[in-house]
Chain A
Amino acid sequence: MEALLTRHLDPVAPLNLVAYQATGGYRSLTSAFDLKPEKIIGIVEAANLRGRGGAGFPCGLKWRLRGADAPSPRYLICNLDESEPGTFKDRYLLYGGPHQIIESIIVSAFALQAERAFIFVRGEYAKGGNALNQAIQEAETAGLLGTNIRGSGFNLQIEAHLSGGRYICGEETAQINAIEGKRPNPRHKIPRPSTHGLWGQPTTTNNVETLINVPHILLNGADWFRELGVNGGCGSKLFCVSGKVKHSGLFELPCGTPARELIFEHAGGLDENRALLGFLPGGASTAFLLPKHLDVPMDFDPIAKAGSRLGTGSIIVLDDATCPVEVTLNLMRFFARESCGFCTPCRDGLPYLTQILTTISSGSGRADDLALLDELCATIASQSFCAFAPGAVMPLVSSLKCFHDHYEHHVTTGRCPFNEANKNGA
């Protein structure tokens, strides 16, 4: 498949407005403004574009459910707060070509009839954020933003908001609080942000990768988009592969491409003499999959059926020289550190899990610790305030299942076998 989303990206020298327009950029505005907003939403729905931020919620449905009669002002938030370990696709989009993002937001905001859009940029992407601001200014000067864009009668103002820099700011309602200048704790989702979001107004949040598909869908049609996928997947997808592979990186491939192809073909496979132990299919907050899942299409439903989540489509590979207990502990340290501190199970439960895992990993775990981990995870996953904690315990719960023998070994022998193997190897 020819690259679609990444075709004109250049992280070293991203295209300016003129160059971007020369590649056909901003053409989708003409298509969009010729259509009624409801019609665009219908096309996006027909294209079966599912959210690329992790949850996979159908984009068109999200837009339609907000309602065309939502009171003004209406807001669109482009979520570019990518902080998931192992995920670096949004960064590539941001640094590679800010005008593609702006174009996507204009047509999406037109579909939603939103008069103000925010791009919430991860704090560490400050340079990209600056370039984005310059691109916004270029677009404003060229009349692509502002009032009555290209005579369509549609007004739009875009602001890039650089995050203070916390993982929780990627959560929809925490992000809304952050943009409002408040402490980024998640909000209760009744009433929903689609009706009571930013400053109490109708607000739609989409991941940046979701949005950049929209201009292509408008230009080429829903059927064309669906057919870009393979094995039942729809559209093009950005996959990140990292961990114990030869060539980690970002790959744009048809949605539904199996992990085997991603890991062994595109990422060059594992080091010589190493075997695959397992992999995380969609970023740190998804469940581990095993070598037997290599041929499952990397698409939302098949991966869910296999017991994990497609998440952000970011594969992290473990080989047989990597201690899965230590990998899990590393992930849990991250989540315990990034908890916003709002609800009890997440705030105090994750450090508790981390503490137990630390003892197991260091060889001082007890036989009943594994059952205790399972017991605590059940409450943390089901009784937390937002989706952060369920995601945080997912790798741990699956790791306890997938790599049970490794945990048992740590507990019964009182040491980590991989440590010794590494020492012997060295």
Chain B
Amino acid sequence: MGKIMLDGHAIPFKLGDNILQTALEANLEIPHFCYHAALGSLGACRLCAVEITPKDSGKAPRVAMACLEPSEDGLKVSVSAIAAQQVRQHVIEFLMINHPHDCPICDEGGECHLQDMTVVCGPPYRRYRGRKRTFPNQDLGPLIHHEMNRCITCYRCTRFYQDYALGNDLGAMRLRNEVYFGRFQDGPLENPFAGNLVEVCPTGVFTDAIFRQHFARVWDLKTAPSICPHCSVGCNTLPGARDGTLRRVRNRAHPELNRWFICDRGRYGHQYSEHSARPLAPRVSGTDTSYHDALNAAASQIKSTQDCIGGLGSTREDLEGNAMLQALLNNLGGIFTAFSDPKLETATIAAVSSLQNIGNAPSLAEIEQIDAALIIGDLTAHAPMIDLALRQAYRKGAKLAFLYSSPTPLAQFATTAITVSPQEMCTELSRLYQLINAQSAAEDITDTPMTDIAASLMGARKSLLIGAIETMTSQEVSTLSKLATALGSDTKLAYAFSGANAYGAALLSPTGSAVAMLEAVEAGQIRILIVAGNDPLGDSRFGTRWRAACRNLSALIVLDCILTATAKAADILFPVAAWTERGGTFINYEGRAQGFATVFHRPEYLPNVARVITDLAQYLGHSLQAAPSVLGDIFSDFQIPKPGTTGSLITAPSLPMPATASAHSIQESCNSTWQAALASWYGDEALASFAPGLMALTPKTVAMIEPTSAIDAGIKNGSKIKLRGSSGSMVLSVRFNQDVATGTIAIARNVLVQLGVGHGDSLELEQVL
């Protein structure tokens, strides 16, 4: 390894790195603007000027840009040389010509790279006496505020938005000192990673519009390392709070997961914890009460109905909360599951089981390196950052293949994309498995797209098979895992789970416990149900049955931080701490256990789930162990991961692959030819659906149908249809969409809930004249 001499210090460098990268790697700052670790060197800002003394002693030292000069062994570089300092001063002077100097009212103040660089480089005064150039700003939607006058034209925004995130509605326009970064016309930014502009911009052009609504100076924010609760990727975040309210969430780099960026759901979904309808006081039979009285009420209900109790944890509830609820149920002789949807339970357990057998899922950094992928379903909504990692793989030339039932934004980068109706997905996967297993894709010449997929997976150096669990059955999960085994060790398998702790929830839930629980409630065998962070009554597929079953309960006890349908129906409601208001552990899609810390406390007393369960146990006369030792008993030698560390893979006993004969759960009574598919979008998630900023971007509720099958059925684009499911009907207008499978109607989650149908269930269609 060679070394450069930076102002007299020998600094080692990686081959191929430039001087700026070498210095930053060694934690030495060379002032810069346009260079960004994820976006690379550009050479536009001209701030990283350094003096280089050529090794050839006859040549005079020259000032060059550190971001464009490769590090060479023995190269003499000076940041402090007068000539380099002068260039940097001039660059700052040029940038300050038009900058408005509005730091006192600028949201970026205190974390502004431009501010820092100006103070570091000087000059401390201005000589320019002319007028400043001004721009009109654009309305970029509810999430991002635009203030173009502050722009220093470093091109970071377009390089992130267009080159990195592959968005196409923000770019550089015009020229000279009037280069304008924005959209062609006003309107919300369309890319689901647009929020990163706030962090990528070195000054206050793009600022967080949600933070701005309830602003605090950044030095007044309380922060602590946290984990994003909005999907199973487990991105590391840094929430900031002040005066007992959460103000914003920013990226916190994890070397293998989210390094520089997070998705907009992770950045803006946090508004759920400040939602006006958030339950903040314990409630018994609809009346606010004290925590003590609520515990008393719950305890007396439980005591009066011995042996008839169930505990429903959740895939978004942390490991501690789920484990403590399970421990309480063990003590009381009741049953526990973390899943309210039996289909989701078997699919999740099947996925965790296959990951345990085949090997762990790849990290985001590894996904960026793959050269072929098969993607089942919509990752943009179910694991947005895996979508972003696959966009990086695509940029490097990876071939992406898709099997999907409803539109998915990532499919625009597909090499091969096949729409498949939910009920045929398993058959199609099996065909692919047969093609690959036959080792000779050429045999089935008639089946071109599928043979293309087989060939690209078999020819790949590193490939990935990934599916979104929420729209998969356990049979599909096990077929995908068989496919991975057939492809061999160069193929990685991953699943985008539903819920930040779905992996952990699966480890705690016995197979079949969800259906057992539902049937027990239906049969009146369970009279008390404790629900922690789950929403059985708001479930799309099983909500109807749960709602009917819950009428048999003598008490529905709910612990949650959002007002779900279940929380609304609770007899006893314990409001609990949101994720930023408590510490805990999530296990992400890789099986990585990551800890998160309490960022702040609200003025109200909001215990976490583990605390409520412990207290309830005490009122019942039971003494539960503390969460760490409960978890230590379940997972041998389990240490609670420290917040702020990179986390570690959990060692857990192997889960059995669930029996895959549950196909009958698809309703066959209905003789309709139409199937429902979940039309998901990136803001669609239990917590985030309480974030007003994101919800303002909700796509219009329509019924998306593939044109050919619609025309065959005599349905016109834009016409009205009435859809009917097990629990209701709804009139929607039709929108033709090529990305919907034949015979399938793609509808949003709230429509599925209202109709009482799940992804893949049949539904009845009736034309409205």
A and B form one complex: yes
Cβ contact within 8 Å between B177 and A348: yes
Q: Considering the complex, give the chain B residue whose CB is closest to the CB of A359.
A: B129
Q: Does A196 contact B (CB under 8 A)?
A: no
Is A341 a contact partner of B46 (Cβ separation < 8 A)? no
Given A342-B44, A383-B49: A348 and B98 interface contact (C-beta under 8 Å): yes
**Which of A120-128, A134-142, A294-302, A331-339 lies at the interface?**
A331-339
Instruction: Establish whether residues A344 and B176, one from each chain, have CB atoms under 8 Å apart when the complex forms.
Output: no
Which residues of the partner chain A approach B47 to less than 8 Å between Cβ atoms? 344
Min Cβ gap A4→B in Å is: 38
CB of B45 within 8 A of CB of A344, answer: yes
Within 8 A of A (CB), among B125-184: 127-130, 133, 152-153, 155, 172, 174-179
Q: Tell me if A340 and B175 are in contact (CB < 8 A).
A: yes
A178 to chain B, nearest CB (A): 12
Q: How far is the CB of B349 from chain A (nearest CB, A)?
A: 48
- Which of A217-225, A263-271, A349-357, A400-408 binds B? A349-357
Do A355 and B94 touch across chains, with their CB atoms under 8 A apart?
Answer: no
**Within 8 Å of chain A (Cβ to Cβ): is B642?**
no
Which A residue sits closest to B91, measured CB to CB? A344
User: Are A347 and B176 in touch, CB under 8 angstroms?
Assistant: yes
Measured in the bound complex, the distance between the Cα atoms of B130 and A383 in whole Å is: 23
- Complex Cα gap A355–B63 (Å): 27
Interface of chain A residues 338 through 385 with chain B (CB within 8 A): 338-345, 347-352, 355, 358-359, 372, 376, 379, 382-385
Assuming the contacts A345-B94, A382-B63, A383-B63, asked whether A166 and B44 have C-beta atoms less than 8 A apart, the reply is no
Residues A344 and B87 in contact in the complex (CB < 8 Å), given A339-B177, A352-B128, A355-B129: no
Docked-complex contact A385 and B97, CB < 8 angstroms:
no
Task: Specify which chain A residues have a CB less than 8 angstroms from the CB of B152 in the assembled complex.
Answer: 344
Query: Contacts of A382 on B, CB cut-off 8 Å?
Result: 63
Cβ B129 vs Cβ A347 within 8 A: no
Q: Is A188 an interface residue (CB 8 A)?
A: yes
Give the CA-CA distance A74 to B86 in the complex, in Å.
42
A168 to B175, CA, bound (A): 10
Question: 1/0 contact trace for B177-198 toward A, CB 8 Å?
Answer: 1110000000000000000000
Whether A183 sits at the interface, judged by CB under 8 Å, is yes
Collect the chain A residues with CB atoms within 8 Å of residue B90's CB.
345, 349, 376, 379, 383
Is the CB of B414 closer than 8 A to any CB of chain A? no
A338 vs B91: C-alpha distance when bound (angstroms): 20
Would you call B172 and A385 a contact (CB within 8 A)? no
B172 pairs with A348, CB closer than 8 A: no
B68 within 8 A of A: yes
Q: By DSSP majority rule, is chain A's interface helix, strand, loop, or mixed?
A: helix
Q: How far is the CB of A392 from chain B (nearest CB, A)?
A: 12
Contact check, B46 vs A385: say whether CB atoms are below 8 A apart. Answer: yes
- CB < 8 Å neighbour of B179 from A347, A359, A372, A384: A347
Interface-central residue, B87, B94, B155, B172, by most chain A CB under 10 Å = B94
Q: Which among B43, B49, B94, B179 is the interface contact of A352 at CB below 8 angstroms?
A: B94
Contact with B along A208-248 (1 / 0, CB 8 A): 00000000000000000000000000000000000000000
- Give a binary string over A310-343; 1 marks a CB under 8 Å from any B CB, 0 the rest: 0000000000000000000000000011111111
Residues in A with CB closer than 8 Å to B177 are 336, 339, 341, 347-348, 351
B176→A385 contact, CB < 8 A: no
Q: Contacts A351-B97, A352-B128, A359-B129; is A343 near B45 (CB within 8 Å)?
A: yes
Could you give, for residues 168-198 of chain A, a 1 whenever the CB lies within 8 Å of some chain B CB and a 0 otherwise?
Answer: 1000000000000001000010100000000
With A349-B94, A355-B128, A355-B130 as contacts: A341 and B86 at CB distance below 8 Å: no
How many angstroms from the CA of A314 to the CA of B448 in the assembled complex? Answer: 62
Residue of A nearest to B172 (CB): A183
The number of residues on chain A lying at the interface, defined by a beta carbon within 8 Å of a beta carbon of chain B, is 31
Q: A188-B68, A341-B153, A372-B127 are in contact. Are A348 and B175 (CB under 8 A)?
A: no
Cα-based distance from A359 to B41 in the complex (angstroms): 37
A residues in contact with B128, CB < 8 Å: 352, 355
Question: Which of B43, B95, B129 sits near A348, CB closer than 8 Å?
Answer: B95
Residues of A within 8 A of B155 (CB): 342
A347 CB contacts on chain B under 8 angstroms: 94, 153, 176-177, 179
Let me know if A343 and B63 touch, CB within 8 A.
no
Complex Cα gap A345–B45 (Å): 8
List the B residue with the shortest CB-CB distance to A385: B43
Which B residues touch A342, using CB under 8 A? 44, 155
Partner of B44, one of A190, A376, A385: A385
Known: A341-B153, A343-B44, A348-B94. A383 touches B129 (CB 8 A): no
CB of B757 to closest CB in A, whole Å:
46
Within B23-75, the residues touching A (CB, 8 Å) are 41, 43-47, 49, 63, 68
- Which residues on A sit within 8 Å (CB–CB) of B98? 348
- Do A341 and B63 touch (CB < 8 A)? no
Whether the pair A341, B91 counts as a contact (CB closer than 8 A) is no
Provide the bound-state CA to CA distance between A345 and B153, in Å.
Answer: 12
Q: Please, how many angstroms separate the alpha-carbon atoms of A168 and B98 in the complex?
A: 23
Interface centre among A337, A343, A349 (most CB of B within 10 A): A343
Give the Cβ gap from A325 to chain B, nearest Cβ, in Å.
17
Contact among B41, B46, B63, B178 for A344, CB-based, below 8 A: B46
Contacts of A344 in B (CB 8 A): 44-47, 91, 94-95, 152-153
Which A residues lie within 8 Å of B43 (CB)? 188, 343, 385
A385-412 CB contacts (< 8 Å) to partner B:
385
Closest residue of B by beta carbon distance from A349: B94
What A residues does B86 contact at CB under 8 A?
379
Are A338 and B129 in contact (CB-based, < 8 A)?
no
Q: In residues 573-612 of chain B, which contact A (Cβ within 8 Å)?
A: none
Within the complex, what minimum Cβ distance (angstroms) separates B72 from chain A? 13
CA distance A382 to B62 in the complex (A): 10
Contact assessment for B94 and A341 in the assembled complex, using a CB-CB cutoff below 8 Å? no
Cβ distance A181 to chain B, nearest Cβ, rounded Å? 13
Which of A166, A345, A348, A349 counts the most B-chain CB atoms under 10 A from its CB?
A348
Q: Which of A166, A359, A385 has the most chain B CB within a 10 Å cutoff?
A: A385
Q: Are A339 and B87 in contact (CB under 8 A)?
A: no
Q: How far in angstroms is the closest Cβ of chain B from A62?
A: 23
Q: Which of A342, A350, A385 has the most CB of B within 10 A?
A: A342
Tell me which residues across on chain A come within 8 A of B45, comparing CB atoms.
Answer: 343-344
Q: Which residue of A lies closest to B180 (CB)?
A: A341
**What sequence of 0s and 1s flags, for each residue 57-68 of chain A, a beta carbon within 8 Å of any chain B beta carbon?**
000000000000
- Give chain B residues whose Cβ lies under 8 Å from the Cβ of A183: 172
* CA–CA, A376 and B176, complex, Å: 18
A351 to B131, CA, bound (A): 11
Residue in A closest to B176 when the chains form the complex, CB atoms: A339
Chain B hits for A166, CB < 8 A: 175
Chain B 69-109: CB-based contact to A (< 8 A → 1; otherwise 0): 00000000000000000110011001101100000000000
Bound together, the chains give a CA A166 to CA B179 distance in angstroms of 14
Q: Which of B87, B95, B178 contacts A341 (CB 8 A)?
A: B178
List which B549-568 residues lie within 8 A (CB) of chain A: none
Q: How far is the CA of A144 from the CA of B87 in the complex (A)?
A: 53
Cα distance A358–B98 in the bound complex, in angstroms: 17
CA of A97 to CA of B638 in the docked complex: distance in angstroms? 83
Measured between alpha carbons, how far is A166 from B175 in the docked complex, in Å? 10
B174: nearest chain-A partner, CB-CB: A341
Name the CB-closest residue of A to B128: A352
Residues on the B chain within 8 Å of A379, using CB:
86-87, 90-91
Chain B residues within an 8 Å CB radius of A350: 176
Q: Which residues of B contact A (CB under 8 A)?
A: 41, 43-47, 49, 63, 68, 86-87, 90-91, 94-95, 97-98, 127-130, 133, 152-153, 155, 172, 174-179
The 4 A-B residue pairs with the shortest CB-CB distance, nearest first, are A348-B94, A341-B179, A355-B130, A379-B90
Q: A343-B44, A348-B177, A355-B128 are in contact. List 5 more A-B contacts (CB 8 A).
A: A336-B176, A338-B175, A344-B95, A351-B133, A352-B94
Interface pairs (18), CB distance under 8 Å:
A188-B43, A190-B68, A341-B178, A342-B44, A344-B152, A345-B46, A347-B94, A347-B176, A347-B179, A348-B94, A348-B98, A348-B177, A350-B176, A352-B94, A355-B129, A379-B91, A383-B63, A385-B43
